[in-house]
């Protein structure tokens, strides 16, 4: 069993469990209720897509570029909110957004499956004086996803 298999199985289980929940939500629930960051469910799902996409790029770059890798941290200084606004997730068609969420997670799962073990200690410069190893980034991804799914769950149950 590969080191990343448990992480990959967890990602698949989260997608399998959450896709029907997300797709069943009404437009009012996904576009009106807001969390403590003033994000709607649509915007949280968009953020997860951005996180998946950015992490996919980091994983790829960390396997062929020099370590430590200089690669933009899209989330620094509130830029993740800029990404959400610029892409206008709030007005994205919900079914499309859920499918993009699903397939971006399935794709990062595939990318993780194909990480070369000898690159797992390569590092990304995540901020001034801070680095994160590829292995740590992969291990942390499900935690980050579950954090946002928990926020969505709270908004679903907020009535």
- Domain coordinates in residue numbering, the chain: 5-132
What are 22-80's pLDDT values in tens digits? Answer: 999 999 999 999 888 899 999 999 999 999 999 999 999 999 999 999 888 877 767 88
The pTM assigned to this predicted structure is 0.94
Question: 5-132: what CATH class?
Answer: mainly alpha
Residue that wins the pLDDT comparison between 76 and 21 = 21
- C-alpha torsion angle, residues 132, 135, 136, 139 (rounded to 10): 150
Phi, psi (rounded to 5 degrees) for 8: -65, -40
CA distance 50 to 68: 22
Sequence-distant (6+) residues with CB within 8 A of 29 are 41, 155, 156
Closest CA to 139 of 7, 26, 5: 7
Cβ 97 vs Cβ 45: under 8 Å? yes
What are 78-91's pLDDT values in tens digits? Answer: 788 999 999 999 99
């Amino acid at each position: 069993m590969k080191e990343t298999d448990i992480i990959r199985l967890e990602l698949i289980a989260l997608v399998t469990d959450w896709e029907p929940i997300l797709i069943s939500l009404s437009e009012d629930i996904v576009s009106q209720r807001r969390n403590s960051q003033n994000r709607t469910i649509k915007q949280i799902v968009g953020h997860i897509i951005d996180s998946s996409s950015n992490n996919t790029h980091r994983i790829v770059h960390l396997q062929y570029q020099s370590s430590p890798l200089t690669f933009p941290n899209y989330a620094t200084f509130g830029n993740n909110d800029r990404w959400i606004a610029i892409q206008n997730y709030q007005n994205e068609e919900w079914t499309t957004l859920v499918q993009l969420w699903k397939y971006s997670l399935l794709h990062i799962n595939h990318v993780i499956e194909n990480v070369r073990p000898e690159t797992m200690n390569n590092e990304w410069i995540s901020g001034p004086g801070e680095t994160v190893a590829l292995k740590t980034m992969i291990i942390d991804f499900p935690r980050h996803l579950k954090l946002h799914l928990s926020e969505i769950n709270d908004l679903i149950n907020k009535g």
